[in-house]
Every structure is written in C-alpha cells, then in structure tokens.
C-alpha cells in the first residue's frame, strides 16, 4: 500500500476518567488501544501528538453558551441542584455528571479539532483521534453518552478551507447529532450506516434526506440485526463510491464506532475486525484527506483490537501485523486466545430476508441520483476580512480571532 502521512492524537489522561460504576462507556478503552498501538511499534510510523485541550470558547462554535457553561461548572455533587437536576442538559443515566466531565470533553474535542487543523495545513493525509467520534451530542443537550460533539467541531474547522466535506458513520447507532447539525446545508454530506428499527436514537430512515438547501445531502442506510461483513460491504462500497464520484469531497471524516462489531454489549451487528476495517481501507484508497475518529464500542477488548488494526490500516501495514498479540500492559484482557481479532458468531442475519439489502441499496442510490450536481461555493483568500466587513466591524474593533470565527459561522448559518 502507498505511503501516507499519518498524524495520531493521544492524551494519556483520557483513560483515567469514569462515567461511573456499571456504565457501559469505558474511556479506558482508549488507553488500552494506545498501549496496543505502541506494543506493535506503530508510533514511529506516525506523527504522535498530544493535542491542546478545547476551550469553552472553541466549543461554542457549535454548542450554546449556556450548555458549555453548565458542563464547565457541573460536578456530581452539584448536578441535582443545577437547573432542576441538570435535566435541561443531561439525559438521565446515559449522561451522568461524573468527576472531570469537562476535562474529558476538552480532551476529546481538542483531539478532533487538532486532527482537522492538521488536514487543513496539509501536514497529514490521515489524522486519527480515537478519543473523538461522540456523534449524539446536540447543540444544547448531551445525548447517548456524548456531551460535546467533537465531530461537528472538526467539520466546521475543515469547512474553513474545504468546499465540501463528507461525513461517514459506521457506528451501530445513527449519527443523529452530526446529521442534525448539517441537515440544511449542502456543504456537508452526512452518510450513516446503522440500525434504526427498535434502536436508540430511532432516527435515520432512508427517507430522512435533509431539508432546504440540504435536501438530499443526508444519506441514511439502516440495517437489520445480524449484518455480516458481506452484507455491509455490498452496500457500503457502492454507496460511498457513488458519493465520492459525484460529491467529490475535499475531505472525509470517518466515525469508526466499534459497537457495530460482533459481540458488542449494546450492539447486534455481526461484523468482524476485518469487515469493519475494510471501510478504512476503502477510504484510504480513495486518496482524499481523511480524519479517523472513534465512537461507540462497549466490549473493551474488541474496541481496542479494531482501532489498533485500523491504525495499522492508516499507516499501510495492516497486512503485516502478527495476529498473536505482543506483550503489553493489558494482555490479560485478551485471553484466552490473546490474538488481534474480533470473530463473527452464528447470530441470525435478518438482512437476507425479502431482498432487504438490495432494495435498501437501490433506494439510497436512487435518492442520490435525484441530485443534479455537486454543490460549490465561492471561496476567497481572506474570508475573515470579508465577513468582518459584512458585520460592520473594523480592524480596530476588540474582537479576537475565536470570537470572529464564531460570528462568521453563525452568519453563514453553519453553527
């Protein structure tokens, strides 16, 4: 495989946080993934960077000031007293106010913003932040284990220099927060492969295609329980190839949620490690600037295996990896086989019934063919000056770069 410049973002503090005893989301999975990546000696093949943590001001490029301020101040002790138990901002037991919540959010979002910036500067072909991918968070509300939507923040960063951005989501759950953020614009095409029926958040039907200027630029591919590698590939590759050929994105963001793997504690798909990683390999071959993010995944050893393997895919050494795990600090988690693998099982595949896969694929492709051409926008070498003038500002106005950036995005109706 051809050489790619890969930037890998990791903050060693990310694995120290806990959503609470019994909660399925385990930030430790990022530390175990990094440990495996290091054990396989992949780090010398990448630019390994500890990202700056996102500030509250950076978070308000998408989220409301009130919500960010709440996350910044809330603690487990004060959650019950703040705004009626936090019910305006937090959704029940899924999103607890755990110790270090805001720091956790700032690490996750900071890594994704840094990855987007690395793509913008042309210093990397692929940028990785496994601590990101928290796709359910809304502008003013946490949802589905997600508080700050690092993906939306990263895409807004990419839009500063790129005309069109393609967002692809292979998490078991629908990428509703990202789709909602860009539902009315054609500058971002969102494409989610997920389980929709009888599954949180319940959105993401084939018929959900966007509104207004964004009509047709939201693509949803709902699968049924038990989807296999062959099922997934037979739909993913033709749909994404059509989108790449027609939409011609300047950059791609791939959310690699690992709860679509076989054996996940909250998922009911039947993808192997190789089947999941085929999506990364496919997009790497497309040779478009690529941001890889994490997401869901609740069987920790499976998450660690697949993200380690997909890091190798990004570098181009996946075919050379020894499936027998090297010694590492968390080796006991991978017994009794101690192999880099996620095996499929004998789960019933409901997708083969009544020609479901083919009819879904054809419906999605027909929707895409209804769109006449790839959108374009007029770009300027100094858009910040132009936008500042249109807002009645002068160079002497006391407005810093981040504030100007926020007001530009709001003026453009992107945030």
Model confidence pLDDT, tens digit, residues 15-41: 999 999 999 999 999 999 999 999 999
The larger pLDDT score, comparing residue 410 to residue 284, is at 284
pLDDT at 387 over 50: no
Q: Which ranges constitute the DSSP H helices of 248-293?
A: 273-286
Using alpha carbons, select from 9, 365, 1, 374 the residue that is nearest to residue 166: 374
Mean pLDDT, residues 310-328 taken together: 97
CATH number of the domain at 6-379, out of 3.30.1490.480, 3.40.50.280, 3.40.800.20, 3.40.50.1370?
3.40.800.20
Using alpha carbons, select from 288, 293, 193 the residue that is nearest to residue 234: 193
What whole-number distance in Å separates Cα of residue 114 and Cα of residue 109?
9
Residue-level pLDDT at 177: 98
Mean pLDDT, residues 165-177 taken together: 98
Within the chain, all domains assigned CATH 3.40.800.20 are found at 6-379
Mean pLDDT, residues 203-210 taken together: 97
In this structure, are residues 297 and 257 in contact, taking their beta carbons and an 8 Å threshold?
Answer: yes
Residues labelled as active-site residues: 136
What tens digit of pLDDT does each residue of 240-277 get? 999 999 999 999 999 999 999 999 999 999 999 999 99
pLDDT at 412 over 70: no
In this structure, are residues 154 and 115 in contact, taking their beta carbons and an 8 Å threshold?
Answer: yes
H or E, element range at 244: helix 229-247
Residue-level pLDDT at 407: 56
Residue-level pLDDT at 389: 44
What tens digit of pLDDT does each residue of 82-94 get? 755 556 788 778 9
The larger pLDDT score, comparing residue 143 to residue 388, is at 143
Whether the model clears a pTM of 0.85, i.e. scores above it, the answer is: yes
Percentage of the chain modeled with pLDDT above 70: 89
Count Cβ atoms below 10 Å from residue 328 Cβ, excluding itself: 17
The larger pLDDT score, comparing residue 198 to residue 370, is at 198
Q: How far is CA 16 from the centre of its chain?
A: 21
**Average pLDDT, rounded, for the chain:** 91
């Amino acid at each position: 495989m051809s050489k790619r410049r890969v930037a890998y973002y990791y903050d060693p503090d990310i694995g120290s946080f806990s959503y609470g005893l019994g909660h399925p989301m385990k930030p430790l999975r990022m530390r175990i993934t990094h440990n495996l990546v290091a054990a396989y000696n992949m780090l010398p093949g990448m630019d390994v960077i500890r990202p700056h943590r996102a500030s509250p001001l950076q978070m308000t490029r998408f989220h409301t000031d009130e919500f960010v301020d709440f996350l910044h101040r809330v603690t487990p002790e004060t959650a019950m007293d703040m705004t009626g138990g936090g019910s305006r901002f937090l959704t029940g037991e899924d999103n607890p106010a755990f110790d270090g919540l805001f720091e956790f959010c700032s690490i996750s979002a900071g890594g994704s913003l840094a990855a987007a910036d690395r793509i913008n500067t042309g210093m990397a072909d692929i940028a990785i932040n496994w601590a990101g991918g928290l796709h359910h968070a809304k502008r003013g509300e946490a949802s589905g284990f997600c508080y700050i939507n690092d993906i939306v923040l990263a895409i807004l960063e990419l839009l500063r220099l790129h005309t069109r951005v393609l967002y692809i989501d292979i998490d078991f759950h629908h990428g509703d927060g990202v789709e909602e953020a860009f539902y009315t614009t054609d500058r971002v095409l969102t494409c989610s492969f997920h389980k929709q029926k009888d599954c949180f958040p319940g959105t993401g039907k084939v018929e959900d295609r966007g509104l207004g200027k964004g009509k047709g630029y939201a693509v949803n591919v709902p699968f049924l329980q038990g989807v296999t590698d062959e099922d997934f590939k037979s739909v993913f590759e033709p749909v994404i190839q059509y989108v790449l050929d027609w939409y011609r994105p300047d950059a791609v963001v791939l959310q690699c949620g690992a709860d679509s793997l076989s054996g996940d504690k909250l998922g009911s798909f039947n993808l192997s490690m190789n089947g999941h990683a085929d999506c990364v390999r496919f997009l790497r071959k497309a040779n478009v600037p690529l941001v890889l993010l994490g997401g869901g995944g609740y069987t920790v050893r499976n998450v660690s295996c697949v993200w380690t393997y997909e890091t190798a895919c990004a570098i181009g050494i996946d075919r050379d990896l020894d499936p027998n795990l090297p010694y590492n600090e968390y080796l006991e988690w991978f017994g009794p086989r101690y192999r880099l693998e996620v095996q499929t099982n004998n789960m019933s595949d409901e997708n083969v019934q009544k020609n479901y896969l083919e009819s879904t694929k054809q419906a999605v492709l027909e929707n895409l063919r209804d769109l006449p051409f790839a959108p374009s926008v007029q770009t300027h070498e100094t858009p910040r000056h132009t936008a500042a003038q249109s807002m009645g500002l002068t160079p002497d106005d006391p407005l810093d770069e981040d504030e100007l950036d926020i007001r530009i995005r709001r003026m453009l109706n992107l945030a």
